[in-house]
Structures are given as structure tokens and as C-alpha cells.
């Protein structure tokens, strides 16, 4: 019998999407820091190049909603030795309109990026993840998938659909020993999420977090993702809901008053 103290630990290899900013960037850093080989995927090649230089990650610029880009990504990863873990971070929100004033283009974008992008990447990598019999898919959804709120219908709908897909995937792939994890963050302050959602209006984006002493950070969520995928493979953290202490529920966030 092999001495477990001298048996090499298999190298861990992952694709992380949305790697040019926020939680995706932080996840690449967290995994690389614990010895993973990480393929960092996003559209912005300049940001990926900088991230790769800092972390040793492998930069692969790609649009996850584009079939040709997805095929090229799979080819690059295959040539590099494959992966055992897919971390789907790419996503986002656009707009805060009520349904009565909904912008169909915003809804279309949210569905394509959050749902179809996740589907395309997962479908493309499933043969590789199945082959090793110890694959993992981790999807970043949102607390918005659980509780709807005024002005959030488009994002609520997209994230709820992504969550439903994640749950179905877990049932479909358990026979292949595929571990499927869902992380559902609440209020996370990142450099771009609210800014993009609110059309580049910096004052409105900052107001989302106004008075909240300690919203979650991208690094907080990345640490949780790293913990989940570093756990022994037989341990499946099916659903991880994480919010700052100040956010007791979707409708209850503690904010300091202007005089505090």
C-alpha cells in the first residue's frame, strides 16, 4: 500500500470565467494561490494579461456566448492538459426597471450571459469533466435567484433560470460522479457590477452600498469558492448562500444614518 504521506496530490486544474474583474478575478487569485492551474477567461484580453502576469494563470480571451470562442477555449484547454473543474462566474445585471417599463434588450443580455453562457460552457466541458470521474462544476448565481424584488425582475428571472439549470445538472450528472456546487451571494461590493447595472452612473452605483459598514467583497466570495472546490470530492456543498451580516434578508439591510 502506498504511503499517503508521500503520494503526490493530483494537480488541480480549472477554467474560471468572468476573470477580468470582481469575483472572477478574485477567484483566479484564490485558486492560483493554492496551487491550481487556472485558465482565466473573459473578453478583455488586456486585463487577463495583467492578471496572468501577477498570478501565473493562463489567459484565454473569449466571449462565453459565442460558439466559436467556446470551441477555441475548449481546444486550448485540451491542448494544455484539460481540467477537472469549471467555475462559471460570468454574468451580470442590466437595469432596474419595473416589468411595466422593461427594456427587452437588457433582459435579452441578462439571459444570454447568465443562462446561455453558463449552458454553453458547461455543455462544452462536460465530456472532459466526466472522463476523469471526479469533475466539479461551480455556478455563481445570486441571492436574487431566491427572492424577487422591485426593479429586479429581469435579473431575478435570469438568475432563477441559472439556478434551475444548476439543480437539474446535479441530478443529471450524479451518475458520472460530477460534483455540482451553487454559490448565491447577497450584497457584494465590486468595482463594476452596480456600475454596469446602472448605466455607468457612479453616484447611483455607490448609493447601493451607502451606509453598509461591511458589504461582502469579491475576495470574500472567492475564498468561499476556493473552499468549496478544494474540499474532498465526495463532499458536495450543494448550495451556499452568503450575505453580509448587515443584510439579514433581501428587504432588511442595516445602513448607518448620515449622522453616525
pLDDT given for residue 50 in this prediction? 98
Q: At what angle do helices 117-131 and 67-79 cross, to 10 degrees?
A: 30
Kindly list the domain boundaries of the chain, sorted by start residue: 13-253
The predicted-structure confidence for 142-151, as pLDDT tens digits, reads as follows: 999 999 999 9
pTM flag (> 0.95): no
Rounded Cα–Cα distance for residues 240 and 225 (Å): 9
Rounded Cα–Cα distance for residues 22 and 31 (Å): 15
Cβ atoms within 10 Å of 72's Cβ, excluding its own: 14
pLDDT given for residue 209 in this prediction? 78
Residue 50 in grid coordinates: 495583467
- The H or E element spanning position 193 is helix 193-197
pLDDT given for residue 5 in this prediction? 39
Rounded Cα–Cα distance for residues 13 and 84 (Å): 6
Q: Strand, helix or coil at 15?
A: strand
pLDDT given for residue 192 in this prediction? 61
For the chain, what is the mean pLDDT?
A: 91
User: CA distances (Å), 17 to each of 110, 113, 135, 246, in order?
Assistant: 16, 11, 17, 29
Candidates 70, 114, 84; CA nearest to 178 is 84
Which of the residues in the chain have pLDDT under 70? 1-11, 192, 194-196, 198, 201, 205, 257-260
Residue with cell 447595472: 197
Do residues 62 and 165 touch, judged by C-beta distance below 8 A?
Answer: no
Q: Which of 111, 155, 209, 227 is catalytic?
A: 155
pLDDT given for residue 256 in this prediction? 85
The predicted-structure confidence for 42-56, as pLDDT tens digits, reads as follows: 999 999 999 999 999
Residue 174 in grid coordinates: 450524479
pLDDT given for residue 181 in this prediction? 98
**Would you call 4 exposed, middle or buried from its count of C-beta atoms within 10 A (0-12, 13-18, 19+)?**
exposed
CATH class of 13-253: alpha beta
pLDDT given for residue 201 in this prediction? 65
pLDDT given for residue 196 in this prediction? 67
Rounded Cα–Cα distance for residues 7 and 108 (Å): 49
Residue 169 in grid coordinates: 445538472
Q: Is 155 a catalytic residue?
A: yes
Amino acid at each position: 500500500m502506498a504511503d499517503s504521506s508521500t503520494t503526490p496530490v493530483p494537480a488541480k486544474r480549472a477554467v474560471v470565467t468572468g476573470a477580468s474583474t470582481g469575483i472572477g478575478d478574485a477567484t483566479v487569485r484564490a485558486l492560483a494561490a493554492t496551487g491550481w492551474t487556472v485558465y482565466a477567461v473573459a473578453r478583455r484580453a488586456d486585463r487577463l494579461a495583467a492578471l496572468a502576469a501577477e498570478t501565473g494563470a493562463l489567459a484565454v480571451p473569449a466571449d462565453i456566448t459565442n460558439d466559436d470562442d467556446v470551441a477555441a477555449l475548449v481546444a486550448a484547454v485540451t491542448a494544455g492538459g484539460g481540467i477537472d473543474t469549471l467555475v462559471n462566474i460570468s454574468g451580470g445585471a442590466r437595469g432596474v426597471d419595473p416589468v411595466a417599463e422593461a427594456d427587452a434588450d437588457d433582459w435579452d443580455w441578462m439571459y444570454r450571459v447568465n443562462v446561455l453562457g453558463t449552458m454553453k460552457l458547461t455543455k462544452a466541458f462536460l465530456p472532459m469533466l466526466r472522463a476523469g470521474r471526479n469533475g466539479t462544476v461551480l455556478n455563481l448565481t445570486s441571492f436574487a435567484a431566491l427572492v424577487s424584488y422591485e426593479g429586479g425582475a429581469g435579473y431575478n428571472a435570469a438568475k432563477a433560470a441559472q439556478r434551475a439549470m444548476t439543480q437539474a445538472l446535479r441530478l443529471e450528472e450524479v451518475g458520472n460522479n460530477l460534483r455540482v456546487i451553487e454559490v448565491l451571494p447577497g450584497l457584494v461590493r465590486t468595482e463594476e457590477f452596480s456600475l454596469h447595472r446602472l448605466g455607468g452612473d457612479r453616484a447611483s452605483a455607490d448609493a447601493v452600498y451607502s451606509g453598509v459598514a461591511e458589504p461582502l467583497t469579491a475576495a470574500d466570495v472567492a475564498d468561499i469558492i476556493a473552499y468549496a472546490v478544494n474540499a474532498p470530492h465526495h463532499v458536495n456543498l450543494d448550495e451556499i448562500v452568503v450575505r453580509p451580516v448587515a443584510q439579514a434578508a433581501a428587504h432588511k439591510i442595516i445602513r448607518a444614518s448620515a449622522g453616525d
